[in-house]
Copies of this chain bind each other. A is one copy, B any other.
Amino acid sequence: MFARKGYHTSRVGDIAEEAGVAHGLLYHYFSSKDEVLETIFRENWGVLVERIHAVEQSNDSARDQLRHVAAIILRTWRHQPDVVRVLVREIARSPEMQERISDLVKPIEAIRHIIERGQESGELRADLDPALAAVVFYGGIDEVLTGWVLGQLPSGVADVEAAERTVVEVLTAGFAASLAAAD
């Protein structure tokens, strides 16, 4: 429901109807409509964050780690498009949620750590602010998801793979050490 109509536009009765139960039953399992949204978030975001952390702790090159992170986030679209829709539309940008849920920034933090270590090892140019670079990287991924969610970008299997390649290629090239003198 949230994916299709948005949080505020979805009524509790709609959610229950979709689930094939009476609306009252929803309050057996959730204390409020709000908690439904938060549960969706926690159950899915948690998995994402864990997988990203696993990547962060591998011994791969920064470039490969970034590739994996991008893949984890972007491929979620193929498996759980509705979840992505909700995360992108309802949570990632909602002021209320942002304040309540500190986990939201974890992926960006992980990307920052990867970049920092890439800079230390000389793989990535050292003159970039890693926090800013992480935001740019994450934003590129996120906007692709948004394009898919809003139907502005094609999102077939091949498109998803192409997007993954493009994002990683463009940004890791932009981050690469040899370019430090470009400007």
On A, residues with C-beta under 8 Å from B are 4-6, 8-9, 88-89, 93-96, 98, 105, 108, 128-129, 131-133, 135-144, 146-147, 150, 152-153, 162-163, 165-167, 169-176, 179, 182-183
The docked-state distance in angstroms from the alpha carbon of A167 to that of B134 is: 11
- A165 adjacent to B183 (CB under 8 Å): yes
Set B6, B150, B162, B179: member contacting A129, Cβ < 8 A: B162
Contact partner, A139, options B5, B140, B162, Cβ 8 Å: B140
CA distance A173 to B180 in the complex (A): 9
Q: Is the CB of B152 within 8 A of A132?
A: no
A178 CB to nearest B CB, Å? 9
Instruction: Please tell me which one of the listed residues B9, B135, B170, B175 contacts residue A153 in the complex, with CB atoms under 8 A apart.
Output: B135
**Contact A6–B95 (Cβ < 8 Å):** yes
Residues in B whose Cβ lies below 8 Å from that of A143: 135-136, 138-140, 142-143
Kindly list chain B residues whose C-beta atoms are within 8 Å of the C-beta of A141: 139
A177 CB, min distance to chain B CBs, angstroms: 11
Residue on B with the closest CB to A140? Answer: B136
A182 near B166 (CB under 8 angstroms)?
A: no
Please give the distance in Å from A60's CB to the nearest CB on chain B. Answer: 16
Given A139-B144, A139-B146, A171-B170, A93:B93 Cβ within 8 A: yes
- Most chain B CB within 10 A, of A131, A143, A152, A167, is at A143
| A132 pairs with B96, CB closer than 8 A | no
8 smallest CB-CB distances across A and B, nearest first, come from A139-B143, A174-B174, A170-B174, A136-B140, A139-B139, A8-B8, A173-B174, A173-B179
The smallest beta-carbon distance between A124 and chain B, in angstroms, is 10
A89 to chain B: closest residue by CB: B93
